[in-house]
Amino acid sequence: SAVISQKPSRDICQRGTSLTIQCQVDSQVTMMFWYRQQPGQSLTLIATANQGSEATYESGFVIDKFPISRPNLTFSTLTVSNMSPEDSSIYLCSVAGGRDTQYFGPGTRLTVL
């Protein structure tokens, strides 16, 4: 499986600011995904990061709040914009693997004050 890293691993931010999270994969992958995991909850898909085109967002998530970049097949960023305490979550990137599975990065733990 691919080795996936995320930066930062955690951050504490003030409300109204924005944070950009980076996801780096050690091999080229076709599909990358971004998830949110709120405290004590399961994973919710934010969007599919498409290389060379706009991300595909799930219901309830919009580009203005969560802009995503995918400049190449090994890298993606997720920005959490104009943050509020409700955005405090773990943000996870994942990549598509064989057998239709997904492999996850270690996550970015965000706390918004």
Partner 1 sequence: GENVGLHLPTLSVQEGDNSIINCAYSNSASDYFIWYKQESGKGPQFIIDIRSNMDKRQGQRVTVLLNKTVKHLSLQIAATQPGDSAVYFCAENGENAGNMLTFGGGTRLMVKP
**Sites of contact with partner 1 (CB under 8 A):** 1, 4, 31, 33, 37, 39-45, 48, 90, 92, 94, 96-97, 99-107, 109
CB of 40 to partner 1, least distance (A): 4
- Least Cα distance to 19 among 62, 67, 57, 53 occurs for 67
CB of 90 to partner 1, least distance (A): 7
Residue number, 51 or 81, with CB nearest to partner 1: 51
Name residue 16's amino acid.
G
Residue number, 6 or 80, with CB nearest to partner 1: 6
Whether 107 and 7 have beta carbons less than 8 Å apart is answered as no
CB of 20 to partner 1, least distance (A): 19
Distance CA 86, CA 107 (A): 17
Q: Per the structure block, which two tokens stand in for 22?
A: 């980076």
